[in-house]
Amino acid sequence: MKVLVTGANGFIGRATCAELARRGHDVVAAVRRIESARDIPCARAIAVGPIGPATDWRAALDGIEAVVHAAAMAHSVTRKSASEESDIFAVNAAGTRALAEAARGAGVRRLIFLSTVKVLGETTGGRVPFSEIDPPNPDSGDAYARAKAEAETALAAIARAPLEVVVLRLPLVYGPGVKANFAALIRLARSAPPLPLASVANRRSLLFLGNLTDAIVLALRHPGAAGETFMVGDGETVSTPELIRKIAGFVGRPARLFSFPPPLLRLAATLLGQGDRARRLLDSLELDDRKIRDQLGWQPPFSLDQGLALTLRPPATDRPRQETPSA
């Protein structure tokens, strides 16, 4: 299958290109600038410039059978200005709509859209895990989640023959080369400072990059995926202190956690202007991914511990060299 991957030079896009190529697909990598396509495993790379409502997709979509839309403007933990929010919506909502319309016009058969579980909210609190039957309810302060929700709505309106749309809603994705929040957690575990998190009893769903790319490949080809929305996760939940202990164990550092009342932690963080960061450490965000397992027969090939081990494995250049046995 000839597959166009957008955001091909990003954390998820690059891994998706590699997995598709490994499975024998003809991969076309869409990037903003052609020089950023270096070392991407693909048959061809094409520069499409900035993604937005005016992006010209015609050359990139020529002969394409399926699209994996991994490109997005990422969010940060700080509140966005009006202009920054406008950019997020231009890329993640209007840009997605324009790509889908162009793909349908070009005769593309399937589009995989990588969305976020946060279209349903920032936290599951004490309630049951989020599932596909929950109505969208993105946090008013999260422009990224609101733009993804708007994109999902647009795709539902655009999807008609020949184009089939599949939406994958993702929790936090981790894997080799991960950045942002998960990378910060790794740095914290490596430095091993005393942390007042031992009393935190939240439940977080995560997704290893290798599990995500496996689910993407399945969603591209499975007839039962057409027109559907799926939650995708590792199938295990973990609390923040459990995750820090696991990471610390893999990097050979102690997890120096002590108890402190979470409500007081939240209050202190809010007073210091770090309320959003505290929410990511203290709150629960759990998803139920039984639908993709039951409907498509998907099983994540990697466990949480396996995913963490691969994420935290030193780069090949940093690993001890193996001596060649003498004859």
Q: Which residues are catalytic?
A: 144
The CA angle 76-81-82, to the nearest 5 degrees, is 125
216, two tokens? 């993407």
Give the burial class of 12: count Cβ atoms within 10 A of its Cβ; 0-12 exposed, 13-18 middle, 19 or more buried: buried
Cα gap 273→248, rounded to integer Å: 27
Helix axes 304-312, 240-250, angle to 10 degrees: 50
- Cβ atoms 144, 118 nearer than 8 A: yes
Closest residue by Cα to residue 136 from 125, 120, 123, 150:
120
Gap between the Cα atoms of 29 and 13, Å rounded: 9
Residue 276 token pair: 């959003």
Distance CA 167, CA 164 (A): 10
CB 31 within 8 Å of CB 47: yes
Cα–Cα dist 211/287, whole Å:
15
d(CA 327, CA 325) in angstroms, rounded, equals 7
Reference 254, options 195, 305, 166; nearest CA is 195
Q: Give every CB contact of residue 327 below 8 A, 6+ residues apart in sequence.
A: none
